[in-house]
Amino acid sequence: MTGETTGASGAEGGMLERHFRMRERGTNTRTEVLAGFTTFLTMAYIVLVNPAILGQAGMPVASVAAATCFAAAFASILMGMVANTPLALAPGMGLNAYFSFTVVQQMGVPWPVALGCVFISGVAFLILTLTGVRQLIVSVIPQHLFAAVAGGIGLFIGFIGLKDAGIVVANPATFVGLGSVTQPGPALALFGLVVIGTLSVWNVRAAMLIGIVLTTIAAWIVGLVSAPTEPYSLAALTGTAFQLDIAGVFGLSGKHGIGLLEILFVFLFVDLFDNIGTLVAVTKRAGLMDAAGKIPGLNRILMTDAVATMVGAMAGTSTVTSYVESAAGVQAGGRTGLTAVVCGLLFFATMFVAPYAQLVPLAATAPALVVVGGLMLLPLTEVDWEDPMAAIPAFLTVAMIPLTFSIANGLAFGITAHALLKLLKGKASTKDWFLFTLAALFVARFAWMAAA
């Protein structure tokens, strides 16, 4: 015990201690490293899931896998070094689905242009943070809508997972119905769901990653996966790196004119919601939040997130955001940015094998989407469902996101309903001008869509 303490103190007396202030936060190098490994294991599934989602937008899967690792590595290391917070980042679940299924597939925006939108949203996020406008946006959104957006995105992700697995299919009579679960694809997905569920209830940190791997092996055994014909090369990253089309963003015309504003708004708004919610959860659990309920170094954290999104877009992936799985590392004792740095270094090492993510079938990643979606429903407990002022806007937000396959529609219905109910109850005041401005913009959007 004495030797361990002495060794830890010696390490903490050096450069790491000076930068990360571990002693001040009651931790040591060994604990931070183990916490970093824990965080990585809980979120490593994104290396397999993100390429599967963005691949459906026509992006090269191997390239997206490499870009996912690079973006997560860069962002997590930057967060640790700049903000000294045990917060890891990676391409966000929900926003990658919006990117692939809504922006590219439904709106017909080419994926390089969509990447350009992600980049510009990162620039906008940085400007809003530097100018303080971010505080204005956050201040007009009630807590129940923050929770509803998180829950709605969870249902959206879970629904996509069930669809990818073939468990839920289109039905001309009822819109959706149950697929043939005895077919190889759905059966494998159910097997993966059982594996992940079993490991999760036993508190296995890498439950989702293990489940994806075992389901992929099963898919190989039954012949649903074949070996790639192209040799492995780290150069796969060039398939998406610097392929973003910023000029194309500003060149969008016709039906994409207003659609461009919607895309930018959703990327920016959801990233903002996701970050605030994650920051509150992780910093509160880590004991880093001050007595007034404020997060120390919040601007540095948000600026890091904005830069990470821009770099991620240049590498070739959707919006990079803070991960709530960072709480697992905090639970393991992580209290400083060294936890995030270790997690980032592990993502960097993973980049050298990331292109093989194309070997993972949708049936293997779909169960992870279902589980992640379910876990994202927890914030819904924060909604006062007995209060119509909170319950009605929250329900509309939660329901409209998966049912219309659009995060934008959920946000629009929720914010507009909140503003309208506030007005009709006579609680509106001049300080709500920004809320009603947002609601008016959403109403104008609905009118434009109806006339188009």
Confidence of residue 134 (pLDDT cuts 50, 70, 90): low
**Integer CA distances (angstroms), 80 to 88, 121, 218, 254, 299, in order:** 8, 23, 38, 43, 14
Among 102-106, 169-173, 265-269, whose mean pLDDT is lowest?
Answer: 265-269
- AA letter at 158: G
> Using alpha carbons only, what angle is made at residue 318 by residues 48 and 372, rounded to the nearest 5 degrees?
50
Residue 252: pLDDT over 60: no
pTM above 0.95, yes or no: no
CA distance 143 to 362: 35
In this predicted structure, the answer to whether residue 122 has a pLDDT above a threshold of 50 is yes
Cα separation of 254 and 59, whole Å?
25
> How are the residues of the chain apportioned to helix, strand and coil, as percentages rounded to the nearest 5?
70, 5, 25
Read off the pLDDT of residues 441-451 as tens digits, 9 standing for 90 and up.
888 877 766 76
Does the pLDDT at position 190 exceed 60?
yes
Distance of CA 37 to the CA centre of its chain: 20
- Report whether pLDDT(9) > 50: no
- Of the candidate ranges 399-413, 420-434, 436-450, the one whose mean pLDDT is the lowest: 436-450
Q: Is the pLDDT of residue 214 over 90?
A: yes
What's 381's DSSP letter?
G
Task: State the angle between helix axes of 184-201 and 207-221 in degrees (0 to 180), rounded to the nearest 10.
Answer: 150
What the block records as the tokens of 364 is: 């293997």
| More confident position, 279 or 365 | 365
Of 62-66, 76-80, 333-337, highest mean pLDDT? 76-80
Cα torsion for 153, 157, 158, 162, to the nearest 10°? Answer: 150
Cβ-Cβ contacts under 8 Å for 98 (sequence gap 6 or more): 266, 267, 270, 318, 406, 407, 408
Among 158, 167, 50, 185, CA closest to 375: 158
Closest CA to 325 of 290, 272, 281: 281
Q: Residue 346, SS3?
A: helix
Half-sphere exposure of 87 (CA within 13 A, CB side): 35
pLDDT at 131 over 80: yes
pLDDT at residue 137 above 70? no
Torsion of CA 116, 120, 122, 127, to 10 degrees: 170
Helix axes 46-55, 207-221, angle to 10 degrees: 60
| Residue 153: predicted pLDDT | 80
pLDDT band at 13 (very low <50, low <70, confident <90, very high): low
pLDDT at res. 11: 44
Among left, alpha and beta (phi > 0; psi -120 to 50; other), residue 94 is left
Confidence of residue 213 (pLDDT cuts 50, 70, 90): confident
Quick check: 249 and 260 in contact, CB under 8 A? yes
Q: What is the pLDDT of residue 119?
A: 95
Other CB atoms within 10 A of residue 440 CB: 12
What is the Cα 319 distance to its own chain's centre?
A: 8
H/E segment holding residue 285: helix 256-286
Whether 4 shows a pLDDT value over 50: the answer reads no
**In the predicted structure, residue 323 carries a pLDDT above the cut 50:** yes
Determine the average pLDDT of the residues in 189-198: 95
**pLDDT per residue over 100-118, tens digit each?**
988 899 888 899 999 999 9
What pLDDT, on a 0 to 100 scale, did the predictor assign at position 5? 43
Selected residue with higher pLDDT from 250 and 56: 56
Pairing of strands 320-322, 175-178: unpaired
Q: Average of pLDDT values for 84-88?
A: 92
Q: Are 103 and 267 in contact (CB under 8 A)?
A: no
Q: Token pair of 230, please? A: 């192209």
Question: Which of helix, strand or coil describes residue 172?
Answer: coil
Q: Percentage of the chain surpassing pLDDT 70? A: 86
Q: How confident is the model at residue 228 (pLDDT cuts 50, 70, 90)?
A: low
What is the average pLDDT across 180-207? 91
Average pLDDT over residues 317-346: 88
Q: Which two tokens stand for residue 90?
A: 């990676």
Instruction: Give residue 1's pLDDT.
Output: 38
DSSP per position, 181-234: TTSHHHHHHHHHHHHHHHHHHTT-TTHHHHHHHHHHHHHHHTT-----SSPP-G
Structure tokens that stand for 210 in this block? 């293990």
